[in-house]
Amino acid sequence: MKVILNKDVKGTGRAGDVVEVSEGYARNFLFRRNLAEKATDGKIEAHKHIKRNERQKKAENREDALEKKKRIESVEINIAKTAGDNGQLFGSVTKKDIVKQLKKDHKITINKKDMVLENNIKDLGTTKIKVKLYKDISAELKVNVIKE
């Protein structure tokens, strides 16, 4: 019997897969737990259409991430903060400051959660920050902290 899985089932398949299983397994286990539904021609076609749209959407998101990566790596932002004579900042530069300055200067919007910054920046100078844009795409953003 062909079924379309609604959820991942260990040893059978992943959500959305069309698999062939025994009739008893389908009726007594998969259908009762709402893990699968019977695969009819109409449901299979609808499922293929949904999968095609998901693949297309992922490809578009990946292209957008690549474009954003080029834009981010081509710019550098300057953040002015008050600092002492030894180059130590009075305070620090946070992810929020960086996102705000990037949007203000270059009209590039990123989520602060996508930035990889262990600790806030506490010294003058240039720092490279990794920004995750997609699963396997990340960009390096140059941040110059200058004395105010």
Q: What is the CATH number of the domain that holds 42?
A: 3.40.5.10
pLDDT at 27 exceeding the cut of 90: yes
Residue 139 pLDDT grade (very low, low, confident, very high; cuts 50, 70, 90) = very high
Domains contained in the chain, number: 2
For 59, 83, 86, the CA distances from 70, given in Å and listed in that order, are 17, 32, 35
pLDDT at 137 exceeding the cut of 90: yes
Q: List all residues 6 or more positions away from 57 whose beta carbon is below 8 Å from its beta carbon.
A: none
Are both 76 and 142 inside the same structural domain? yes
pLDDT digits (tens, 9 = 90+) for 38-62: 999 999 898 889 889 999 999 999 9
Predicted local confidence at residue 87, as pLDDT: 83
Are both 47 and 111 inside the same structural domain? no
Are both 77 and 54 inside the same structural domain? no
| Pairwise CA distance, residues 46 & 53, whole Å | 11
Prediction pTM value? 0.71
- Mean per-residue pLDDT of the chain: 92
What is the residue range of 99's domain? 68-147
Last residue of a domain, one of 64, 90, 107: 64
Percent of the chain having pLDDT more than 90?
79
